[in-house]
Amino acid sequence: MAELTTLARPYAKAAFEAARNAKALTEWSEALTLAANVTGQDKVKSLLSSPNLTAEQKSASLVELCGDTLNDAQQNFISVLAENGRLSLLPQVQQLFELYKANQEKAVDVDIQSAFEMTSEIEEKLAKTLTAKLDRKVTLQTSVDKSLLGGAIIRAGDTVIDGSVRGKLAKLAEAMQG
């Protein structure tokens, strides 16, 4: 997976730069999401991996499958991916693009797993606190995980805050063994 991300990174950066310069982040996001979803279909995967088709035919097929939603710059981007044999990387390109877009927009999705259902008041306080701490606009997704016993686990990008009782017990057990 990391290898695919490494291969996709320069394409995602190029798409992001083009979108930012054109002030069209949302449009590019939608186009890349559509193209990634289309390439994820089994029939499309086999079409795009066919050795009988040229890169030009593959990109033309993908553009046609996406309908009229891709503008000229986005169609050119698909062509460049096809020429370099990288159409299969579209899902990774799309994911990286979304990360760059979120950083640009100073937004982050935060996943909170708690032992019990949280009230909207607690969610509001958490969102406010995390917005201040992370210096980003926060979008909360909450879920209940009874195995935590108590407390919560908060994930924001690559930051994880484990405030669960299960996590604290595991740390205690580790400290006692070491």
pLDDT tens profile 75-129? 999 999 999 999 999 999 999 999 999 888 787 888 999 999 999 999 999 899 9
CA distances from 159 to 108, 133, 153, 154 (A): 11, 12, 11, 8
Examine the pLDDT at 1 and tell me if it is beyond 60.
no
What's the longest Cα–Cα distance across the chain? Answer: 63
Write out pLDDT tens, residues 22-66.
Answer: 999 999 999 999 999 999 999 999 998 899 999 999 999 999 999
Q: Are 16 and 100 in contact (CB under 8 A)?
A: yes
- Tell me what pLDDT residue 87 has: 93
- Tell me what pLDDT residue 55 has: 93
Residue type at 126? L
Residue type at 57? Q
Identify the DSSP state of 77: H
- Tell me what pLDDT residue 67 has: 86
Domain ranges of the chain: 2-103, 106-177
Give the right CATH number for 2-103 from 1.10.520.20, 1.20.1560.10, 3.40.190.10, 3.40.50.2300. 1.10.520.20
Instruction: Give the mean model confidence (pLDDT) for residues 8-24.
Output: 94
Which residue would you say has higher pLDDT here, 16 or 133?
16
Structure tokens at 27: 């449009």
Beta partners for residue 139, in sequence order: 109
- Main-chain phi, psi angles of 136, to 5 degrees: -145, 155
The CA-based angle 140-26-95, given to 5 degrees, is: 65
- Tell me what pLDDT residue 2 has: 63
Examine the pLDDT at 158 and tell me if it is beyond 90.
no
Q: How many residues does the chain have?
A: 178
